[in-house]
Structure 1
Amino acid sequence: MFICISLICVGCPSGPKKDEIRWVTVEEIARSLENQPPMKVGFDVDDTVLFSAPGYYYGQQKYSPGSNEYLEKEEFWNELNNGLDKFSLPKECARTLIALHKSRGDTIYFITARQKTETETVTDLLAKTFNLDNINDVIFTDLKAQAILNHDIQIYYGDSDADMKAAVEAGILGIRIMRAGNSTKRPFPEYGSLGEEVLKGSEF
């Protein structure tokens, strides 16, 4: 999932009214998984488990001030995937969700649309941040639906429409994570517009 930075302020996400959105809580997710055997679950990275806007903002200012051309530069992706996430903030909703799935013995995968680089430190950072032993290497791919199918993932959490569409394409449950209000990726998606469940309070 790429974070595209806009220097012009835009409004908050529109779309279905709040009472029309299929809200879900972590507690409700936990109850729905009771008596279910361990499964494989997937998480997007940017704006889902990490608030990584600082690294993207830095990259734009360094490589292409005022434009998103930096997203086409290999140098930026090398920097981002090999250290800039030290400035990323873990999202509390991700801590709670990952702890839930760890307690069940579920296998966790992280799938990101970031450009793949020869080396990366994202996997180690996520392992330390979320206390994950024997973590699976982060999967770098635009083809998220195929990655979901390849690893038999049954639930996928993500913030973007592309994440939710990948879950639909793979025939699994997709749960929407909301972006932080100061996310640099604009415009915001219309939460619930694809009929997906949206995690309450997941902007934090």
Structure 2
Amino acid sequence: MLRHTLLTATALLTYTLFSAAHADPKTPGTHKGYSTIELLNAGIPKGLTMISVADIQNELKGKSPIAVGFDIDDTSLFSSPVFYRGQQEFSPNGYSYLKNQKFWDKANCGWDRFSMPKHIAQQLIAMHQQRGDDIYFITGRTPSKCHFTTDYLKKVFHVKKMHAVIFAGSSHTTYTKTPYIKAHNIKIYYGDADGDIISARKAGAEGIRVMRAANSSYKPIPENGIYGERILKNSQY
């Protein structure tokens, strides 16, 4: 019994430390949600609203340019290699590296070169740029005094009018991205986390879910559609 209690406590501590890097207050879901793993194993349930890049393009056809926003980790970039390396270097037996400014400086100031651009983000950004839409990247990462991630995103996504990445930071009590989404009059915000969807809605924007890859180091995998939000098809990669 004691061993079981210790294992449970250790698991809880691990989850708490890991989730701190992407912390968002938890809002109860309004619909049945499904993780990317569940969707890959069982197929797409009828209750989910799946859309494509072409669907969004058609909806915006004939409308004036708008501002759109993108989360970075697991939305624009598959950045698990960065976080895996950070854990190995700074806290191989735990997740305290996520509270270490030295890790964030490494991640934000060079290690993102190991992050792979997601195919869905490439498609979305190309479509929005063709329309003349304004593109912002808003992340819950801890900021650093460098511009590498901004430059990297500009390069890999061929962003013509690049704004500096907005590092909103994270909180267990506040949706930190909401003020930035509202301040830049963003109409659509793409993100993989529950907090991305809620942050967008609180700012008066639509939050569209990008599916987190099943092999992402950021666990647990979110339940796509848990807020009745629209979900991008084939967005896990």
Whether TM exceeds 0.5 here: the answer is yes
Instruction: Measure how far apart 1:66 and its partner are.
Output: 2.6
One-letter amino acid matched to 1:30: Q
Asked if 2 retains the 8 angstrom alpha-carbon contact of 1:60 and 1:67, the reply is: yes
Structure 1 residue aligned with 2:206: 173
> What is the root-mean-square deviation in Å for CA atoms of aligned residues?
1.9
Determine if the alignment matches structure 1 residue 200 to structure 2 residue 233: yes
Structure 2 residue aligned with 1:98: 125
Aligned pairs for 1:17-166 within 5 A: 18-142=45-169, 143-166=176-199
Instruction: Measure how far apart 1:26 and its partner are.
Output: 0.7
One-letter amino acid matched to 2:135: I
One-letter amino acid matched to 1:12: I
One-letter amino acid matched to 2:211: M
Q: Secondary structure at the match of 1:46?
A: coil
User: Which of 1 and 2 has greater Rg?
Assistant: 2
Distance 2:220 2:147 in 1: 28
Asked if 2 retains the 8 angstrom alpha-carbon contact of 1:3 and 1:46, the reply is: no
What does the per-residue CA deviation read over 1:54-106, in whole Å, with 9 as the maximum and x for residues that have no partner?
Answer: 00000011111131110000000000000101111100000000000000000
Larger deviation, residues 176-185 vs 50-59:
176-185
Structure 1 residue aligned with 2:6: none
* TM-score, with length taken from structure 1: 0.92
**Percent sequence identity over matched residues?**
43
Distance 1:13 1:139 in 2: 32
Gaps of 5+ in 2: 1-18, 24-35, 170-175
Larger deviation, residues 126-135 vs 149-158:
126-135
- CA gap of 1:165–1:3, structure 2 versus 1, over 3 A, is closer
Asked if 2 retains the 8 angstrom alpha-carbon contact of 1:43 and 1:156, the reply is: yes
Residues matched between the structures, number = 197
Distance 1:173 1:3 in 2: 20
Instruction: Measure how far apart 1:171 and its partner are.
Output: 1.6
Distance 2:225 2:117 in 1: 24
Distance 2:65 2:213 in 1: 30
Instruction: Measure how far apart 1:179 and its partner are.
Output: 1.0
Distance 2:131 2:147 in 1: 28
Asked if 1 retains the 8 angstrom alpha-carbon contact of 2:77 and 2:117, the reply is: yes
Q: Secondary structure at the match of 1:19?
A: coil
Asked if 2 retains the 8 angstrom alpha-carbon contact of 1:157 and 1:163, the reply is: yes
Asked if 2 retains the 8 angstrom alpha-carbon contact of 1:116 and 1:140, the reply is: yes
Gaps of 5+ in 1: 5-10
Whose helix proportion is higher, 1 or 2? 2
Instruction: Measure how far apart 1:3 and its partner are.
Output: 6.3
Structure 1 residue aligned with 2:37: 12
Distance 1:147 1:159 in 2: 18
Distance 1:18 1:138 in 2: 35
Distance 2:186 2:161 in 1: 17
1:186 to 214, 219, 223: 219
What does the per-residue CA deviation read over 1:96-140, in whole Å, with 9 as the maximum and x for residues that have no partner?
Answer: 000000000000000000001112300000000011123000000
Instruction: Measure how far apart 1:12 and its partner are.
Output: 3.0
Asked if 2 retains the 8 angstrom alpha-carbon contact of 1:90 and 1:129, the reply is: yes
Q: Secondary structure at the match of 1:78?
A: helix
Structure 2 residue aligned with 1:7: none
